[in-house]
């Protein structure tokens, strides 16, 4: 488990101070695939780099498997870091070394015997499906293949935690999907806790079971990905999870309500039910069903030409049927 407690990071350069992280508190459980999302400058990189102390926190603690990494001296820190793998947006491979040697690199650093290196690197290249590229150089690989090498290298020391710093941001959507599937597989097969920082909600939706939203160095919302997607509580979070569609003016008459519903109610014919129940016409303005890790989340915007008292009754009825409502406009 990773417990981040009252973590702050202030960069100081001359007279200029930047508070990149402000009192962050998070708990990441074993085997979580934990997403940290935010706009550029929100503090994502600072946070993930404080987790393995590539960046020194200004205050607070990062407790990994009962050890506060912030308090460790250099030698212990080096030992601890073996248990924390990391992959990067730009892969950070050694261009003059083959794929095999890139993956072997962390093992050579700790003077692992040659036969063990051979066995481990072969296993890892097998895992990331790159056995046939063992003797290739990074320049001969595609972006997705480079990231697979990065992942194999990060796993060389059998880490408990894998930190991913915008690991798919340089990749096209299809390759992103393949790398995310590989990470999910690794999480399942090897039981590794994965922390992913990204600015792409699609990444969070696809593999993260938990998510924290960072804004201005603070966590503004945090929880199960499915809950955050279906019921974002914070205005900025809504901006992330909703695709801010512009609805033409001529559609915006009467009361406009947005509905959001999950598994419990998604397969039920809500519109026909309220139409029958209240004897009203419902105007569908926009709608879609999104899938967050195979869980359907319905989003619907409807127009209702009804009086205020009836509108209140309809909202009550919807809420009692596990449908989250938000009045976008009322007459």
Ligand X SMILES: Nc1ncnc2c1ncn2[C@@H]1O[C@H](COP(=O)(O)OP(=O)(O)OP(=O)(O)O)[C@@H](O)[C@H]1O
Using the minimum distance from each CB to ligand X, give the nearer residue, 199 or 313: 199
Using the minimum distance from each CB to ligand X, give the nearer residue, 42 or 219: 42
Shortest spacing between CB 62 and ligand X, in angstroms: 15
Shortest spacing between CB 43 and ligand X, in angstroms: 4
Using the minimum distance from each CB to ligand X, give the nearer residue, 57 or 303: 57
Shortest spacing between CB 22 and ligand X, in angstroms: 11
Shortest spacing between CB 13 and ligand X, in angstroms: 6
Using the minimum distance from each CB to ligand X, give the nearer residue, 44 or 299: 44
Shortest spacing between CB 55 and ligand X, in angstroms: 8
Using the minimum distance from each CB to ligand X, give the nearer residue, 16 or 246: 16
Shortest spacing between CB 204 and ligand X, in angstroms: 14
Dihedral, CA of residue 295, residue 298, residue 299 and residue 305, to nearest 10: -160
Report the interface residues with ligand X, using CB under 6 A.
11, 13, 18, 20, 38, 40-46, 199
Using the minimum distance from each CB to ligand X, give the nearer residue, 18 or 289: 18
Using the minimum distance from each CB to ligand X, give the nearer residue, 18 or 307: 18
Shortest spacing between CB 290 and ligand X, in angstroms: 24
């Amino acid at each position: 488990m990773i417990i981040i407690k009252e973590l702050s990071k202030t960069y100081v350069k001359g007279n200029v101070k930047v508070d990149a992280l402000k009192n962050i508190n998070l708990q990441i459980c074993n085997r979580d695939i934990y997403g940290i999302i935010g706009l550029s400058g929100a503090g994502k990189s600072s946070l993930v780099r404080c987790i393995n102390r590539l960046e020194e926190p200004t205050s607070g603690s990062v407790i990994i498997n009962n050890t506060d990494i912030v308090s460790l001296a250099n030698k212990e820190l080096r030992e601890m870091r073996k248990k924390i793998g990391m992959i990067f947006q730009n892969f950070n491979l050694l261009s003059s070394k083959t794929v095999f040697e890139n993956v072997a690199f962390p093992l050579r650093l700790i003077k692992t015997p040659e036969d063990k290196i051979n066995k481990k690197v072969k296993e890892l290249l097998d895992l990331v499906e790159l056995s046939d590229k063992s003797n290739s150089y990074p320049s001969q690989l595609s972006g997705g293949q480079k990231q697979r090498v990065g992942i194999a290298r990060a796993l060389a020391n059998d880490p408990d935690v894998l930190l991913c710093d915008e690991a798919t941001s340089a990749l096209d959507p299809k390759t992103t999907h393949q790398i995310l599937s590989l990470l999910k597989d690794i999480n399942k097969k090897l039981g590794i806790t994965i922390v992913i920082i990204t600015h792409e909600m699609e990444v969070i939706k696809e593999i993260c079971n938990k998510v924290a939203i960072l804004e201005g160095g603070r966590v503004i919302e945090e929880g199960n990905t499915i809950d955050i997607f279906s019921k974002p509580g914070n205005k900025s979070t809504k901006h992330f999870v909703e695709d801010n569609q512009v609805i033409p003016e001529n559609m915006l008459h009467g009361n406009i309500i947005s509905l959001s519903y999950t598994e419990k109610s998604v397969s039920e014919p809500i519109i026909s039910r309220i139409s029958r129940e209240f004897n009203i016409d419902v105007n569908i303005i926009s709608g879609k069903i999104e899938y967050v890790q195979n869980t359907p989340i319905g989003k619907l915007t409807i127009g209702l030409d009804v009086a205020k008292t009836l509108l209140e009754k309809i909202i009550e009825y919807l809420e009692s049927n596990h449908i989250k409502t938000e009045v976008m406009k009322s007459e």
